Amino acid sequence: MSVLAAGGMMPLTTRAAISTPFTFDLEPPMTAREAFVEWMVNNRGEDRHFLGQRWDRLQAMVEHKDVWDDVVKRAFLLTPREEFVQKVNRSHSYDHNFLDIGYGVTISGPHLVGRMTNSLEIKQGDKVLEIGTGSGFQSSFLAHLTDKCYSIEIIKPLAERTRGVYDELIGRGYSEFQNITTKNADGYYGWEEFAPFDKIIVTCGIDHVPPPLLKQLQPQGVMLVPIGPPGAQRVLKIIKGVEADGSTHIARTDIYNGRIVPFVPFKKLDGDKISGTHNT
């Protein structure tokens, strides 16, 4: 079945396959809206209406200092957020706000995702772990910055649905999403098999830094994690230091200078049932 996007745009299932596959040196025009939109239509087969909205949202993010590095701006411009929101919300893909994605959880707003992503200071080749795959948007943004993204989602049907979104997009030519490895599990315990990670991004709120995640972070690695009581977290950037004697210390900064940013709770898996949270 073909689904018409809001506003009479191109049906999402009949889009042209991508003619120019992603590479880390792909350079869409970044100085003028019209040139960007034309280039993306011709090279990536995307819808010009959404492309215009994506451009405009990025300008607002830059103005609010949510994104500052060119490489992160480019990654945002290459990420089709409209593919990760619910169909009913497609016309709101580039709104400032978070949106419902079912199962009682949300896709975070672009400004928050932008600020957390830029704060991670990802270098190409970094191994990045995300806790809370959700819609898949955050990891798809990361996949334009490094080829090693790992993402864990606790809600099984959501993890499966989002895996399906990635696979469908890969089938359409978004080869960069092959950079994302996913699993359904409780992310509190990290992903030992692929540890250590250069960067970790936690997209659900908790009242402490999960010790297994800190352990799986490289020395000098960076973790972005919303810490605080339910519904009132502060988004901390944590840098892990390791002394000559092997002891670990962390340096923290608040990427919103003390502003409260509410997040979906960091839930706990008990057997195969989600039960309560990891708060102490």
Ligand X SMILES: C[S@@+](CC[C@H](N)C(=O)[O-])C[C@H]1O[C@@H](n2cnc3c(N)ncnc32)[C@H](O)[C@@H]1O
Torsion of CA 23, 200, 151, 191, to 10 degrees: 120
Among 187, 190, 221, 228, binds ligand X (CB under 6 A): 187
Cis ω on the peptide bond leading into residue 196 (within 30° of 0)? yes
For 17, the token pair is: 């396959």
Task: Report in angstroms how near the CB of residue 68 gets to ligand X at its nearest.
Answer: 20
Residue 181 within binding range of ligand X, rule CB under 6 A: no
Token pair 């992310």 in the structure block, residue: 187
Question: Does position 108 bind ligand X by CB under 6 A?
Answer: yes
The Cα 266–Cα 188 span in angstroms is 8
Which span sits near ligand X by CB under 6 A: 3-11, 183-191, 224-232, 238-246? 183-191
Q: Could you tell me the CA-to-CA distances from 82 to 73, 96, 184 in Å, in that order?
A: 17, 13, 23
User: Residue 191, interface with ligand X (CB under 6 A)?
Assistant: no
Please tell me the distance from the alpha carbon of residue 131 to that of residue 73, in angstroms, as a whole number. 23
Query: Cβ 112 to ligand X, closest distance in Å?
Result: 9
Tell me, by CB under 6 A, how many residues bind ligand X: 24
Of 37, 51, 143, 154, which lies in the binding site for ligand X, with binding defined by CB under 6 A?
154
- Note whether 212 and 202 are within 8 A (CB): no
188 counts as binding ligand X under rule CB under 6 A? yes
Shortest spacing between CB 154 and ligand X, in angstroms: 4
Q: Is 190 in the site for ligand X (CB under 6 A)?
A: no
Phi, psi of 162 (to 5 degrees): -70, -35
For residue 199, the minimal CB distance to ligand X (Å) is: 14
Q: Does 149 contact ligand X by CB under 6 A? A: no
Is residue 137 involved in binding ligand X (CB under 6 A)? yes
Classified as helix, coil or strand, 184 is strand
Give min distance, CB of 245 to ligand X, in A: 32
Which of 78/154 has CB closer to ligand X? 154
What does the DSSP assignment read for 201-235? EE-SBBSS--HHHHHTEEEEEEEEEEESSTT-BEE
Residue 21 half-sphere exposure, CB side, CA atoms within 13 Å?
Answer: 9
Rounded CA-CA distance 141/72 in Å is 9
* Smallest separation (angstroms) from ligand X to the CB of 143: 12
Window contacting ligand X (CB under 6 A); options: 180-188, 211-219, 241-249, 252-260: 180-188
Subset of residues 212 to 271 that bind ligand X, contact rule: CB under 6 A: 263-264, 266-267
Report if residue 152 touches ligand X, rule: CB under 6 A.
yes
Q: How many C-beta atoms lie closer than 10 Å to residue 34's C-beta? A: 11
Is residue 108 annotated as part of the catalytic site, yes or no?
Answer: yes
Of 93, 108, 119, 139, the active-site residue reads: 108
206: nearest Cα among 275, 135, 277: 277
CA distance from start to end of the chain: 47
- Residues annotated catalytic, as ranges: 108
Contact positions vs ligand X (CB under 6 A): 105-108, 131-132, 134-135, 137-138, 152-155, 158, 186-188, 203-204, 263-264, 266-267
